[in-house]
Structure 1
Amino acid sequence: MTKTTDKRPTSAFTAIDFDRPGRQIGHVMFPHSPHEDAWGVTPVPIAVIANGTGPTVILEGGNHGDEYEGPIVIGELTRELDPKEIQGRLILMPSNNVHAARAAQRTSPVDGLNYNRTFPGDPYGSITEQISAYITDYIFPLGDAFLDLHSGGSSLDILPSAIIEPTLDAALAARNTAAARAFDSPNTVVIGNLGDPRTATATACRAGLTTIGTEMGGGGRVSIDALALCRRGVRNVLAHLGVIDPKHRTVENPEGRTFELKGTAAYVYAGTDGIFEPFHKLGARVSVGQPAGRVHAIWKPSEAPEVVHYGCDGIVFAHRQPGRVEPGNCCAVVAAPI
């Protein structure tokens, strides 16, 4: 399905023909003129696999450059999926925050921006803003559904989960929830990013796309278990959406749990700098007011560590990784059962 939208002008260009059947692999080129390359471009990888009639599903990886399971899975689909296996169209973008991905950083080393806090972008802003503007204006209007595959990155270790993007549109909320549950993760979590509208998933929802995300492990590494879950879950969602044969859908977690991050109470922050010592493992049940851990100023042995506390009941969804923290760093996250 191709939707109409008021597209802002862009200097980006691509040889990809989004309406052509078969498999195409290429780049979207963003003119980039830094000191070392007067007339260069930033190439953002993209692939399109299309066949027959059916929905268009956009898959994004590399939203943050230190999150790896999603990009691996999208790359595998790009190489391995036979166009004859699908009905519809897949737009596969494994490394949208491409400078950050090459540097293994959350934010772009070119302009210092977090791509996932730049939407709807600026077609003539910095490179990161240009990429998010292109996704907003030229990619999302082509789609019916959006899968944004995240992990915890180098600063968090997260319980692998499918993520529901909240929306006030009741029909869209139902579609988002159904797609997230089709992923078949042991845990499904509603995350609204404290209402921040500048994320890719929030923008996709405003465009009317069925939208889900993931959080697959983290700690700046590739988790064997999370990667296996991501491989299976993505195919489950594609089968749920009707793009691939339902025979590819497998159910291992029919009684999967659903949680939500309940605003600011979900987050435990460091009040001082030091080393964070968590008191509970991921998945542990905890309660409001319970000590979550302590921050040790190991260079000040006469100082007692700062004890930090949980702000709500639930399970430990994420831990700080690595241990070194500064005031305001997120030390732990609690997901409350729905």
Structure 2
Amino acid sequence: MSGASGFTTIDFDRPGKQTGFVSIPHSPHDDAWGVTQIPLCVIAHGKGPTVIIEGGNHGDEYEGPITISELIRDLDPKEIQGRLILMPAVNVHAVMAGRRTSPVDGLNFNRTFPGDPKGTITQQISAYMAREIFPRGDAFIDLHSGGSSLDILPSAIVEPTDNPDLFRRNAAAALAFDAPLAVVISNHGDTRTATAAACHAGLVTVGTEMGGGGTVSLDGLAICRRGVRNVLAHLGVLPQATKPESRGDRRILDLAGTKAHVYATMDGVFEPFHANGRQVKAGEAAGRIHCLWDPARPPDTLHYHADGILYSRRQPGRVKPGNCCLVVASLYEGDLS
């Protein structure tokens, strides 16, 4: 099958399990007629919704790709009702390099939607997702972690949208994931993300943050494995399993705009004052930045700008002005009824 910016030998409408690639023409210096191959698996059986599950949106976030790869190997088509479109390494060049951004064109895949079929390789991949994958779906699960630069409390992410009914369904799916936290994240209103594009296409959308720090979190991976199956059961693709009472906090949190973030003010090394999960207050000292190559200069002290819990903390100590050092999550005050 040919697409707007790529092709695949997989038949999306055929029952059973098919594993292959989306191939996007790519002609770098050392390969005149080559392709970039993006792993793809379609599992279909019976009647039910189509759920797209994406990992490797950023190449240094590992819990999602591991979870999806396990589903590809382990799921028998007879276990499901509906169709799964599984993409464990969508930003494949970044995944192979272990980098947030693509080493080919330097772009952040999650800031390129709706993409460009005539653009760089990253823009072509997002165009294929927007034009060929999302129109086939009813729901989208986008599995993220904090990557190399952030350590984030494991959480399911509610994608905001102007459609109240879709927002309620997004929130219900995030709560069904049953992570320790559910958090509304708008990415400062940026509509170039995969989850924003999925919502624009009308898909029930849930994201995750599963730890980070450039490692595989054992707790995050266990939460991710269980959570994906929880959402698939919530959507009717997998049977509802008997499970213990929810392990997550049923409240929904929010990143309250720019006040949620604490940014570096100078070149130096950041010393945080608190661990993730601590209750913090606006105006409270959050950490300080040391200029180690100018010891006569006193450190800059940073402060929180919102009340809530410390949700995320920068992993590398070295910072420069504008780096995100800390993120505070507050109780969501919007309407979910």
Q: Distance in 2 between matches of 1:157 and 1:317?
A: 9
- Cα shift at 1:299: 1.2
Q: CA deviation at 1:243?
A: 0.0
| Equivalent-residue separation in structure 2 for 1:36 and 1:254 (angstroms) | 50
Letter in structure 2 aligned against 1:156: L
Shift of 1:186: 1.3
Distance 1:237 1:287 in 2: 34
Normalised TM-score (structure 2): 0.96
1:195-210 matches, cutoff 5 A: 195-210=189-204
Among residues 38, 52, 66, which one is paired with 1:72 in the alignment?
Answer: 66
Q: Deviations over 1:301-338 (max 9, x none)?
A: 11111111111100000001111101100000000112
- In the alignment, structure 1 segments of 5+ residues that lack a partner are 1-7
- Residue of 100, 121, 133 corresponding to 1:106: 100
2:174 to 167, 170, 180: 180
Specify which of 202, 210, 214 is matched with residue 208 of structure 2.
214
**How does the TM-score come out when normalised to structure 1?**
0.96
Q: Among the aligned pairs, what percent are the same residue? A: 66
Determine if the alignment matches structure 1 residue 169 to structure 2 residue 158: no
Instruction: Determine the structure 2 residue equivalent to 1:273.
Output: 267
Question: What are the superposed Cα offsets for residues 230-251 of structure 1, whole Å, 9 maximum, x if unpaired?
Answer: 0000000000000001016554
Alignment partner of 1:335 out of 317, 329, 334: 329
Map of 1:3 onto structure 2: none
Q: List alignment gaps of at least 5 residues for structure 2.
A: 333-337
Q: Which residue does the alignment assign to 1:82?
A: 76
User: What's 1:305 paired with?
Assistant: 299
Give the letter aligned to residue 273 of structure 1: D
Which runs of structure 2 are paired with 1:47-62 in the superposition (5 Å)? 47-62=41-56
State the AA in 2 paired with 1:132.
Answer: S
**What CA deviation, in whole Å up to 9, does each residue of 1:259-318 have, x standing for no partner?**
100110011000101111001110000011111100111111111111111111000000
In structure 2, the CA distance between the partners of 1:251 and 1:90, relative to structure 1 (3 Å rule), is farther
Correspondence for 2:258: 264
Show the counterpart of 1:26: 20
Q: Which residue among 241, 248, 252 is the counterpart of 2:235?
A: 241
Equivalent in the alignment of 2:140: 146
Number of paired residues? 331
Deviation at 1:34, TM superposition (A): 0.3
**Aligned residue type for 2:165:** A
Alpha-carbon distance between aligned partners in 2 of 1:281 and 1:20, rounded to the nearest angstrom: 49
Question: Is the counterpart of residue 45 in structure 1 residue 36 in structure 2?
Answer: no
* Displacement over 4 Å in runs of 4+: 248-251
AA at the equivalent of 1:77: L
CA offset digits 1:189-241 (Å, max 9, x no partner): 00000100000000000000000100000000000001000000000000000
